[in-house]
Amino acid sequence: MTEPRKTRVVIAGGGTAGWLAAAVLTRQLGSLLDITLVESEEIGTVGVGESTIPTVRSFHALMGVDEAEFMRTTGATFKLGISFEGWTRPGDRYIHSFGDVGKSTWMGDFQHFWLEAKDRGIAGDLGDYCFEHQAAAQGRFATGPESRINYAYHLDAGRYARYLRGRSEAAGLVRREGRIERVERDPETGLIAALILADQQRIDGDLFLDCTGFRSLLIGEAMGVGFEDWGHWLPTNRALAVQTTSTGPAVPYTRAITHDAGWRWRIPLQHRVGNGLVYASDFLSDDEARARLLASIEGDRLIEPGLIRFRTGRRLKAWEGNCVALSLASGFVEPLESTSIHLIMTALTRLMQAFPFDGISPAVVARYNDQSRAELEGIRDFIILHYHLNEREEPFWQRQREMEVPETLKARLALFAEGAQAYQAQDDLFRVASWLQVLVGQGMQPRQYHHMARLMPDAALAGALGDLKRNIDKAVAALPTHEAFLDRYCRERQPAQAA
């Protein structure tokens, strides 16, 4: 019997998207595929996706990643959530943590008990009842085989791509150096037949993954898939990024700090700090943004600030013909909730589950596109929420408060405002605890809530909340500082040096 022909997969572009695709496909389907990755050293990558969410850990398990090795190689730190500073009004702060909040029942979620207790004057802040929130606020962290703490990572995007490249090439992946000059399509089927490089190399394939970033060379330019612009909801369209030396211990959370035309980030790594300023060019010039970013940083500057121009929105299809777009090529929702790497990973997971070994199925492609659209629109609504619920006085923030939001978000806001209800739909990334923390953090006060907690006398309700808080406080107090655990975790798992 002759061996079946392998499906030829061509990955157009490197960076985080391209090398994640290479790493997981070689690991999970490598014996069935012939994978080639094409990238050019002449073309830089965006490279500021340095913050992740907990789903990254499950995807790393698919790739067989050793956590300590990955963290040493990429300079990663642990992340328990995001500190939002000034988002409701200047000077305020809340943490959107990765943990569950309180304890819920079949009849209703924890917020109904908490709101009743607040009305009686016997409840603390919402974050008092979340382990990850308290650990983040106190700069503490630990994990291990028996740990149930919910966490993600801060990482160096450049080092991460190199780490993934090393794993992929060791597994047999072929990398071709070169700039893509044109995309050749079959005149009869319209499918992509090959990539033609500047030196006239020809890369034939059966399935092409577009990882060319905002350029979207394959699915946008070659396949002609249109773009749906979301700039009327999310008008930020510029980011400046700069790296600095560390000036203190790395905290286990990202900082998202507002300014009058957007926000800035601070991401602590083991060897440096990532800083950036996100802004709307209609409200702030590039020169003003650069000056503002440089005035806000701590430590010595390691590189010159890099300007990134972007447009928030999505390709009308993430999969067209035999081309699947990943990451920035398929759409972009600004980096506020660190979803960029997650979206690459979920797209790859869906692709592996519906891989076209026997040719392209229109029904499978349609389902893939529906899931991709629903996922991105859900993230879009969650990001808009942060901007829309504010009490700031600057023109940019007034515009965001007064704008009409998507009907899907409008319904969620009404549900919480009228009855303190939050939910996670089938295609939603963010859980009830995430919606709850951000809605409350942004200052929304429900007019009503479920009355089940009224069945509890003051002593019983106060006792239940008090026990929950004391147990969390005790567990957090037993944790080492994030910096101490990180140092020990990476050092103790350092491979033995040859004599």
Q: Is 79 a catalytic site residue?
A: yes
Among 6, 79, 410, 469, which one carries the catalytic annotation? 79
- Asked if 468 and 129 touch (Cβ cutoff 8 Å), the reply is yes
- Asked if 209 and 37 touch (Cβ cutoff 8 Å), the reply is no
Catalytic annotation, residues: 79
